Amino acid sequence: MKKNPLTYLVALVLVGFLVSQCCFTVQQSEKALVLQLGEPLPEVYGPGLHFKLPFIQKVLLFDARVLDYTASSREAYTVDKKTIVLDNFARWRISDPLQFYRTMRTIQGAQARLDDVVYSQLRALVGLYTLTQVVSSDRATIMKVVTDNASKLMRPYGVEVLDVRIKRADLPEANQRAIFDRMRAERERQAKQYRSEGEEESTRIRSDADRQKALILAEAARDAQIVRGEGDARAAAIFAEAYGKSPEFYSYQRWLETLRKGLEKNSSLILSNTEPLLNLQR
């Protein structure tokens, strides 16, 4: 008696279905739990091929990679009574899938809990520091303490917090305008001070330059008077020596000089020919 080939095909399909219900594969980036009638078994399955009971056991996969969570911006207060808006993020992973399933169930639930824990720790730590310390000098210390505290608080939920960072720390918009106005006023005050100091220095330099100029001109005038006096004395000595040697020539020279100075361009003189000045027989 020959069997129908359809029977073999149906049997093959049933065997494949049973095998698929008995086997499951966990990837390198995953961890798995097996739920039996809705209750998790204590064993956590790593990467590889594993087996389970069909129909009564169900596989639940969890991401074993490092996950990122970005929190919404919230306000905190520093020790110097300044309001600051914190925009932070956290890097975390599921360290214990069994405990995670029992407490958090889903990644969304874990992120909601992580948001509350990280913000509470940030708000508490920021309240112990000044605004300048939060923004610059002690920022790394604050982040390390927040990371350690958040990791301890999240450990009972099967979550390990690896890192918490502040992406941006801003002031509220109203505070920003007030601070910018104060900064602008401070810069304008400094600019006025620098201009005043510059004008004072400029006045001092000009006064010193004018004093040196007057001193140089006075010394030059003094030297010129000395040279002119020496020249006049020398000229007088030469004239005296010439007069001693030839009184007629000296008298003639003085007469020519008188004519040259008296008869300048566009000058008019009315004299008789008996005047000594025009006496050509000299």
Claim to verify: residue 168 and residue 123 sit in the same structural domain: yes
What is the percentage of the chain residues whose pLDDT exceeds 70? 83
218-232 burial, b for 16+ CB within 10 Å, e for fewer? eeeeeeeeeeeeeee
**What CATH number has the domain bearing residue 168?**
3.30.479.30
Q: pLDDT tens for residues 89-135?
A: 899 999 999 999 999 888 888 988 998 898 888 888 888 888 888 87
pLDDT at 266: 67
**Local structure of 66: helix, strand or coil:** coil
Claim to verify: residue 38 and residue 74 sit in the same structural domain: no
Claim to verify: residue 51 and residue 72 sit in the same structural domain: no
Q: pLDDT tens for residues 125-183?
A: 888 888 888 877 788 888 899 899 999 999 999 999 999 988 777 666 665 566 677 78
Residue partners of 139: CB distance under 8 A and separation at least 6: 133, 166
pLDDT above 80 (res 28): yes
Claim to verify: residue 101 and residue 26 sit in the same structural domain: no
pLDDT at 279: 55
Q: How confident is the model at residue 272 (pLDDT cuts 50, 70, 90)?
A: low
- The residue among 85, 81, 103 whose CA lies nearest residue 94 is 103
pLDDT at 69: 85
Q: Name the domain count of the chain.
A: 2
How many residues are present in the chain? 282
Claim to verify: residue 102 and residue 72 sit in the same structural domain: yes
Claim to verify: residue 79 and residue 138 sit in the same structural domain: yes
Pairing of strands 48-51, 39-45: unpaired
Domain C-terminal end among 33, 63, 93: 63
The whole-model pTM stands at 0.56
Residue 39, domain extent: 21-63
Claim to verify: residue 32 and residue 107 sit in the same structural domain: no
Rounded mean pLDDT of the chain? 82
